[in-house]
Amino acid sequence: MRHSFRNWVRGIVVGSMLIGASLACDSQEIINTLSYTEVPTIGYQTVEPVITLGPSVTPNAGQADGETIKICSFNIQNLGLSKMSDPEVMGTLADILAQCDITAVQEVSDVSGQVMAALVYDTMNGSAKYDSTYDFELSPRIGLNRSSSNAEQYAFVYNADRISVARWEGTKLAYVYPDGMSGIEDIFAREPYIVEFRAGKFDFALATIHTKPDDAEREICSLAKVIEDAQARFSEGDVLVLGDFNSDGSYFNEDISAAECALKDQKYSWLIGDSLDTTVSVKNDNTYDRIVGDSRFMGEDFTGLSGVFYFDQAQLEGSPFVMVPTTLETKEYSDHYPVWAIFYMNRDTDP
C-alpha cells in the first residue's frame, strides 16, 4: 500500500489503479428487519437515503451488522474569530461534531489559525460531557490568493479513539490536490484537501471540497479526477469526495448526463440524494452538500445508510443522532446542515 506513496514523495507519478471489488451490500437485511421498503442502490448515479423527509434517519443505523463509523461533512459558515468568541456557538458546534466519528469541515476562515484548536482541544476535549478524545487535520490556506480574507482552510475533525491518520514511515498521508501544477489543468478555486485515515480494518481517503458557485458544474464534474488521483497516490480504492458542492439550484443541473459530467458515471455513487435539503434557509430546498464515492470499491463497506443531520429538530427514536439544544437561530451556527453516511469498520478487503 505504501510503495506508491513513497514513489509519489520521490516525484514519480503513480498510474496504477485498483481493480473493482465486490458490490455486496448487506443493508438489505438491515432494512428488511426495520420494515422499510425503499432500499438504497449502490452503483448508480444517486443513492437515495432510506427515509428522506424532515429530520428522519434510519432507526438503529448505528447498530448495523458489525461495528460502524459515521462519516460526515459540514460547511460551518465563516468559521472564524467571531464564532470562536461565542461560547454558545462553539458549544453547539462541538455537540454536533461529537456525534460523527469524522467530519470534513469547510469554510474555516480564521487567518490567525486559532479557531480549530479552540473548538477541538478546548471546547471538545476540555469538556467532561464527551467520552472520546478528538483531534483534527487542517489544510493550508487554500484559494487563488491565500493571504486574502477570501481564502479558506479545510479541516477533518475526528474521534481519535476510533480513527487515526494513515502514515508511511512517519509521514502523514495528506496533500492538497495539485491543481494547475505539473501539467494538471487549473480547475478549482479552492483545491480539494485529501487525507487517508484508518478505522479498524477500514482504510479510506477523504477529499473535501468547497466549490466556487459560479464554476460549480465544472468543478463538480472534475472531482472524478480527484478521486482517481487519490486512488493512484495511496493505492486505495475507498476514496470519498465530500463537502459543499453547490450542486443544485442555478449552480448545477442535477440531471446532467454522464457524457457531460464524469462524476455522474455509474461507477460513482452519490450518497446524498437530490431530494434532500441540506440548507438552513426556508427560501430553498437545495442539495448543496454531497458525499460521493467509487462504488466499485465501497460496496463492501457502505451500510446503505446516509442522510442529513437536522440537528435543531427532534430525531426519530433509535436514530444514531440526537437533537442538539440551541438557544440561537440555526443560521447563527451555519447556513448548512451536516450530511452523513455510515460505513462498516471490519469488512474492507481491498489493499
**What dihedral do alpha carbons 72, 78, 81, 86 form, nearest 10°?**
-70
C-alpha cell at 193: 484537501
Helix, strand, or coil here: 150?
A: coil
Higher pLDDT, 291 or 147: 291
Give the pLDDT score at 299: 84
Residue 243: CA count within 13 A, CB half-sphere: 29
CA distances from 167 to 153, 164, 236, 343, 348 (A): 22, 9, 13, 21, 18
d(CA 219, CA 215): 6
CA dist 179 and 193 (Å) reads 11
Phi, psi of 102 (to 5 degrees): -155, 140
User: Average pLDDT in the 129-155 region?
Assistant: 85
* Least reliable range by pLDDT among 11-15, 183-187, 222-226, 336-340: 11-15
Ramachandran bin of 266, using left for φ above 0, alpha for ψ from -120 to 50, beta for the remaining angles: alpha
Domains in the chain (CATH in brackets) are 3-344 (3.60.10.10)
- Residue 103: other Cβ atoms inside 10 A: 28
Residue 62 has a pLDDT of 38
Lowest mean pLDDT, pick from 79-83, 97-101, 147-151, 318-322: 147-151
From CA 302, how far away is CA 342, in angstroms rounded? 6
- Over residues 229-241, the mean pLDDT reads 96
pTM of the model: 0.83
Q: What is the dihedral of CA 40, 324, 207, 257, to 10 degrees?
A: 40
What are the distances in angstroms from CA 246 to CA 35, 277, 289? 34, 12, 7
pLDDT of residue 334 exceeding 90: yes
Which pLDDT tens digit goes with each residue over 267-281? 999 999 999 999 999
Catalytic machinery residues: 152, 210
What is the predicted pLDDT for the residue at 185? 80
Tell me how far apart the alpha carbons of residues 10 and 324 are, in angstroms, rounded to a whole number: 47
Task: Scan for cell 460521493, then name that residue.
Answer: 292
Cell 472524478 sits at which residue?
224
Cα(107)–Cα(121) distance, rounded to whole angstroms? 19
CA–CA gap between residue 66 and residue 71 (Å, rounded): 16
- Please check whether residue 287 is in contact with residue 276, taking contact to mean a CB–CB distance below 8 angstroms: yes
Q: Looking at the DSSP assignment, which residues form a beta bridge with residue 270?
A: 46, 292
Q: What is the pLDDT of residues 17-57, one digit of tens each?
A: 222 333 333 333 222 222 222 323 333 234 444 333 223 33
Strand 153-159 to strand 134-138: parallel, antiparallel, or no bridges (unpaired)?
antiparallel
Dist CA 96 CA 73 (whole Å): 11
Tell me the C-alpha distance between 175 and 233, whole Å.
10
Give Cα 20 distance to the centre of its chain: 22
**Parallel/antiparallel/unpaired status of strands 202-210 and 174-176:** unpaired
* 108 beta partners: 79, 153
